[in-house]
Amino acid sequence: MRRLIDGENGRTMLSADELERYSRHIVMREVGGPGQNALRNARVLMIGAGGLGAPALMYLAAAGVGTLGVIDDDVVTLSNLQRQIIHATPDIGSPKVESAADKIRALNPHVAFRAHHMRLDASNAMALLADYDIVAEGSDNFATRYLVADACFLAKKPLVTAALGVFDGSLTTIRAHEKNADGVFNPTYRCLFPEPPPEGTVPSCQQAGILGALAGVLGSMTALEVIREIVGFGEGLVGRLLMVDARAMRFETLNYRRDPSNPLNGDHPTITDLSGYC
C-alpha cells in the first residue's frame, strides 16, 4: 500500500532526540525511517477533543505526527473526565482545545499543535480542511459526521471516522474521492449510512451513558488507522466497517460498496458543495 505522505523527501533528517523518541517505530520494518519521516511530515485534523478525540490525539502526538490540529468549541466539564483522558480536574471550565494543547506540548514538543476553538460548520469546513492531509472524526452528533464526510469528499481528503454507542463502537476509512483497483470510486459515508436517523431516535451520551474505557479503545484504534494510512502498511478500512461489541468482546467487519445512487460520487451526483448545510 502506498504512503499518504512521502517519507523520503520533505523535512530534514530526524534529530538525535527524535531517533531515540521514535526508536520503537524505526526498528520496525513496516515503518522505519521513511515511515517516521512520513508521520513527521503529515498534517492531521481531529474533529472533536472528547471521548474519541482525547486518546486519538495523544497517540498521534506520541507517534510523531508533525502537525496536529483539533477543532472543538466545547469546554471541559466534570462529567467529561470519566472518558476524555486528555483533560484533568484543573482543566474544568477551560476550552477543550486549550487543555488538549497543554497535554500535547508536554507529551511531545516536536508536534506543531493547532487549536481551533470554534464549531465546525459549512462556512469554515472547506478552508479548515485545506490545511491538512487527513481528517479523523470523533464527533458526537450525526449532523457533524455527515458534514465532515461530505466536506472531505469535496476537499479530496481521506477520512477516518469513528462512532460510539453505550457498549458498541465502529470505525471505517473513507477515500470516496479515489478509485479502487477496478477503476470504480470507493464508497462514501452515505453509501454506508444513506441518511441520518430521525432526530430523537438515538439517545445521546448524556441520556444513555457510555463506557469510558470503550472510548479509549475506539479512540486508540482511530489513531492506529490514521498512522496506518500515513505510513502505508497493512490493509486499511476503506470499504470495511469495523464493529466492536464490548459486552461480548467481539470484533466483526462488515464489507460495503459504493452505492451508484449516492449523492456524492454516484452516477448522478446531487451534492457538489456544502450549501445544503447552510
Listed by start position, the domains of the chain span 16-277
CATH topology of domain 16-277: Rossmann fold (3.40.50)
Instruction: Assign 98 a pLDDT band (cuts: 50, 70, 90).
Output: very high
> In a 10 Å sphere around its CB, with 0-12 CB exposed, 13-18 middle and 19+ buried, how is residue 15 labelled?
exposed
Strand ranges for 168-275 from DSSP E: 168-174, 240-245, 250-255
> In a 10 Å sphere around its CB, with 0-12 CB exposed, 13-18 middle and 19+ buried, how is residue 229 labelled?
buried
Least confident of 199-203, 223-227, 271-275: 199-203
Contacts of 8 by beta carbon, 8 Å cutoff, 6+ apart: 34, 37
Instruction: Assign 6 a pLDDT band (cuts: 50, 70, 90).
Output: low
Q: What pLDDT, in 10s, does the model give residues 120-153? A: 999 999 999 999 999 999 998 899 999 999 999 9
- pLDDT beyond 80 at 11: no
- In DSSP terms, which residues pair with 245 in a beta bridge? 168, 250
Cβ atoms of 134 and 226 closer than 8 Å: yes
**59 in helix, strand or coil?**
helix
